[in-house]
Amino acid sequence: MNDWIKIQGARENNLKNISLSIPRNKLVVLTGLSGSGKSTLAMNTLQQECQRQYMDSLGMISDFIHKPKVDSIEGLSPSICIDQRHTNRNPRSTVGTTTDLYTLLRILFTKSGERACPNCGSQVKGSSSADIWQENYESIETEIQDLPMSYSDEGKAVCLECSHELRALTMSHFSFNKPEGACPVCMGLGVERKPNLQEIFDDSLSLKQCALKGSNPHGAQLMADNLVAAGNYYGFVFDPDKPLRDLGTVERDLLYFGVYSQRFIRHFPGKTPPTYAAEGRFEGILTNLERRYKERGHESDYREKIEKFFHLQECSDCHGTKLNADSRAVTLAGKSITEASAMPLFHLLGWLRKVSAQQLGGSQDPLMNIVSEMEKKLARLIEVGVGYLSLDRSTVSLSLGEMQRFKLVSLIGASLTGVLYILDEPTIGLHPIDTEGLLRVLRQLRDLGNTVLVIEHDPDVMRAADYLIDIGPGAGKQGGEVVAAGSVQQLIQCSRSWTGQYFAGKDTVVLPEQRRRGNGKCIEITYANRHNLKDVSVNIPLGKLVVLTGVSGSGKSTLMFDVLARSAQLHFTQSTETDAYAVVKGWENVHKVISFDQSPIGQTARSNAATYTDVYTAIRNIFAALPEAKMRNLQAKHFSCNVPGGRCERCQGAGLVQVNLQFLPSVETPCPVCRTKRFKPEILDVKYKNHSISDVLACSVKEGMELFADEPSVYNKLDVMCRIGLDYLILGQPATTLSGGEAQRVKLARELSKSSRHHTLYLLDEPTTGLHPHDVIKLIDMLGQLVDSGNSVVVIEHNTDVLVMADWIIDMGPEGGLEGGQVLGESTPENIAEIRNSKTGRIVNQLLNQYQQNLEGEYTC
């Protein structure tokens, strides 16, 4: 077999007819500036062609899969791609269900769990006799397959003390996704949807004063008349002029729940509810909302409108564990299945070893195979740096990096060979100290006989690669070339390679001669006790660039968003709600707080950076003002992808249509009507400087600046995007394809384009995600300009350049999960470097020494 994957004449997107060879069965890192063409080469060329050839090999029509613009690719293998898309949004999906560890845990509790005999109180072990287990199993898969549910339904568990027969336990009794095991109140979700009264009512007003938010005087009067009639029917006075907070219990229950609810009927037992509205029939505001949610909650647009009137809170029955009381009562080695699921993975591994030593019958016990498989999976998860998570953690709450590493571990367990693995920045969210564990897993994949192609900017991963490919030299149209390939030393020798210049110490940050002193004021946090935070007390100095760092799971996001951002929201909205997570003081020192996380800026292909930053509004107005548009009576709305009128209705302005495939994920193909142009022909005929509206959306931010150089309303906003490293971004690029870091920088650009003279506190979550070291320098400069303009910036970061350029570091740890939640140090980088028990301190110490060597010209790769 060929030892190389040979690509000839790749021309997809900005690739400039490039030809290159990728060594097979090696760890290959694809790097280069953001927007240089790395993802185009890996995803849109290699992965796309692998998928297309696979469909052809099955004899299936592959016309739906776009053939990449490439002359030929030789030596391809079946491919598996782990990208940055968060594909699983099911609230029932957890770490345990995703990794199958919870399935294995259910088997253990089904077979070896103990429960109290209701007759004599003795402990009864297992659900059936041992003869269900056949003596020889070929694999763990056979064990799971040969554990029939029907047997346990027919069998009985017998108390050895009093011979009392108990209902048999099955695996379903430990599943929160099955009726047998799910909590009857929350149906296995762990949370209940409750009306958010503050969003629905203003209790300082009366009904006639429109206490029901969104109501109008006429509607309020009709409702008041209805409620007064109900009061008369039941023999009490309902006063519609009384503020809601002064209503009695009976009046409140009538208003909230209506005459047919048990909450109201309990006040008038035996009284038949009124039949007509004139008599006083009233459904109740909250009952009405619940009904509408049940009837139309499946409609995404309607659900989005009505969800703001609800909030989720921990289930009052199962307290968030999702299982019913009977299932929670079963124990194994002193733990219930909910307690085992709540353990950090590294603690769960220790508990499993205790189970195998104390509860099972040695190596001959069939359950030992299951325990052994669980131990292997847990060890791999710990190795890739997610050992702080627990099996009951919802996958919806996982970061993209965490989700990627879970997928990576599942691939190791599959033991596939001869596969091309394509991974997009697997180090996202990973502390530098944990990178080596991830590299060990990548090497294991390679050593199984696979080619591992990684898109990555992390210096440690690049150094560890068997082969480096640098795409560039610039971004967008200035990129798309193979600048250099080979080892780090070979890249250093290439003057056109920004990656090589970084490793040579020529394109790195310049340490400040003096750290910013700040304005002497701070945000003071005390008694922070959310999640794993342990009575944390810390000061956030203002007028500085503050970096919040620490190993994964140490409590950074909890401190930033659950404590700091939430407290700011309560303060600036003048909420009467008590902050139960911490005591936070000092908000009088800032004018406002703007928080940026890595959530998407839109959920549809029609949402993009141009629409989010509102620059597209200005562009549409420019097109609508053109003489040709006026001749055709076209308005700004006709140049919008989001409303009917000018857009192509076949794809509804997306330019692409989705095709569902039987054996593969759905794919998007060019719209057969508009051919990706998004608009109707008459709209495309209107042109600005020879560019149609579709052409504008196909421009990069930098090209847009050149095109609209004479239009300040457009140019100024694009200039901000360019200065924070988004110059390569295509204006019409779907928001769903942006990385978390790109989405966050787009949000930042929108805020920075608004003029403000007041002190603002900016909170950012790993804004360097997806940035090459050369682009990180631009971002650091922009954050520094924000601070120098009289603002404060707090960022969660692991990027080494950001760490050494910070004015102040707050280091969390010492480990993740229950072993974290402490502040190890809060000081300048130089002082943090001296903290012995800080993993960050060790990294910062090495970095400061390295940068000093750069200044002295003693850099060694």
Choose the weakest-confidence range: 221-225, 281-285, 407-411, 455-459: 407-411
Asked whether the beta carbons of 454 and 27 are under 8 A apart, the reply is: yes
Residues belonging to the chain: 861
Q: Does pLDDT of 440 surpass 90?
A: yes
Asked whether the beta carbons of 813 and 554 are under 8 A apart, the reply is: yes
- For residue 734, the model assigns a pLDDT of 87
CA angle at 75 for the pair 70 and 77, rounded to the nearest 5°: 100
| Mean pLDDT within 764-775 | 90
Residue 720 and residue 776 share a domain: no
At 524, phi and psi to the nearest 5?
Answer: -100, 120
Residue 696 and residue 608 share a domain: yes
- For residue 362, the model assigns a pLDDT of 64
- Of 153-162, 166-175, 240-249, 663-672, the range with the highest mean pLDDT is 240-249
| Mean pLDDT within 28-48 | 93
- For residue 149, the model assigns a pLDDT of 31
Ranges assigned E (strand) in 415-530: 420-424, 451-455, 467-472, 481-486, 522-528
- For residue 816, the model assigns a pLDDT of 86
Does 125 fall in a domain? yes
Does 203 fall in a domain? yes
% of the chain at pLDDT higher than 90: 61
% of the chain at pLDDT higher than 70: 92
Does 387 fall in a domain? no
CATH number at residue 224: 1.10.8.280
Q: Does pLDDT of 139 surpass 70?
A: no
Does 89 fall in a domain? no
| Mean pLDDT within 592-604 | 82
- For residue 743, the model assigns a pLDDT of 85
- For residue 818, the model assigns a pLDDT of 85
How far, rounded to the nearest angstrom, does the alpha carbon of residue 275 sit from its chain's CA centroid? 49
Q: Does pLDDT of 160 surpass 90?
A: no
Residue 495 and residue 445 share a domain: yes
Picking from 287, 314, 341, the residue at the C-terminal end of a domain is 314
Q: Does pLDDT of 300 surpass 80?
A: no
Note the pLDDT tens digit of each residue in 108-128: 999 888 888 767 877 777 643
Task: Give the containing element (helix H, strand E) for 477.
Answer: none
- For residue 273, the model assigns a pLDDT of 93
Number of H helices, E strands in the chain: 35, 28
Picking from 314, 345, 372, the residue at the C-terminal end of a domain is 314
Residue 653 and residue 621 share a domain: yes
Q: Does pLDDT of 815 surpass 80?
A: yes
Residue 856 and residue 789 share a domain: yes
Of 237, 239, 234, 213, which Cα lies nearest the Cα of 224? 239
Residue 613 and residue 730 share a domain: yes
Residue 185 and residue 323 share a domain: yes
Does 385 fall in a domain? no
Q: Does pLDDT of 150 surpass 70?
A: no
Residue 323 and residue 177 share a domain: yes
Q: Does pLDDT of 221 surpass 90?
A: yes
Burial (CB count <10 Å: 0-12, 13-18, 19+), residue 740:
buried
DSSP 533: -
Q: Does pLDDT of 374 surpass 70?
A: yes
Q: Does pLDDT of 562 surpass 50?
A: yes
- For residue 61, the model assigns a pLDDT of 58
Confidence of residue 739 (pLDDT cuts 50, 70, 90): confident
Picking from 721, 737, 753, the residue at the C-terminal end of a domain is 737
pTM for the full model?
0.80
| Mean pLDDT within 134-146 | 36
800: its two tokens: 């080494």
Whole-number Å distance between alpha carbons of 747 and 698: 20
Q: Are strands 4-10 and 18-23 parallel, antiparallel or unpaired?
A: antiparallel
Domain count, the chain: 5
Residue 346 and residue 324 share a domain: yes
Q: Mean of the per-residue pLDDT values for the chain? A: 88
Provide the edge-to-edge strand list for the sheet that holds 583-585: 536-541, 522-528, 583-585
Choose the weakest-confidence range: 361-365, 693-697, 774-778, 803-807: 361-365
Residue 182 and residue 68 share a domain: no
Does 393 fall in a domain? no
Confidence of residue 487 (pLDDT cuts 50, 70, 90): very high
Of 322, 318, 337, which Cα lies nearest the Cα of 112? 337
- For residue 799, the model assigns a pLDDT of 94
Under DSSP, is residue 220 helix (H, G, I), strand (E, B) or coil? helix
- For residue 53, the model assigns a pLDDT of 86
For residues 735 and 632, the model is more confident at 632
- For residue 144, the model assigns a pLDDT of 40
Confidence of residue 510 (pLDDT cuts 50, 70, 90): confident
Note the pLDDT tens digit of each residue in 641-694: 988 999 999 999 999 888 776 656 667 788 999 999 999 999 999 999 999 999
Does 400 fall in a domain? no
Q: Does pLDDT of 64 surpass 50?
A: yes
Does 402 fall in a domain? no
Q: Tell me the residue range of the domain where 216 lies.
A: 195-314
Q: Which residues pair with 691 in a beta bridge?
A: 688
- For residue 148, the model assigns a pLDDT of 34
- For residue 137, the model assigns a pLDDT of 33
For residues 48 and 141, the model is more confident at 48
Residue 621 and residue 572 share a domain: no
Q: Does pLDDT of 297 surpass 70?
A: yes
Q: Does pLDDT of 74 surpass 70?
A: yes
DSSP 336: E
CATH number at residue 448: 3.40.50.300
Note the pLDDT tens digit of each residue in 229-268: 999 999 999 999 999 999 999 999 999 999 999 999 999 9
Residue 686 and residue 637 share a domain: yes
Note the pLDDT tens digit of each residue in 610-636: 999 999 999 999 999 999 999 999 999
332: its two tokens: 């194994």
**Per residue in 469-498, is it b (16+ CB within 10 Å) or e — as a string?**
bbbbbbbbebbbbbbbbeebeebbebeebb
- For residue 153, the model assigns a pLDDT of 38
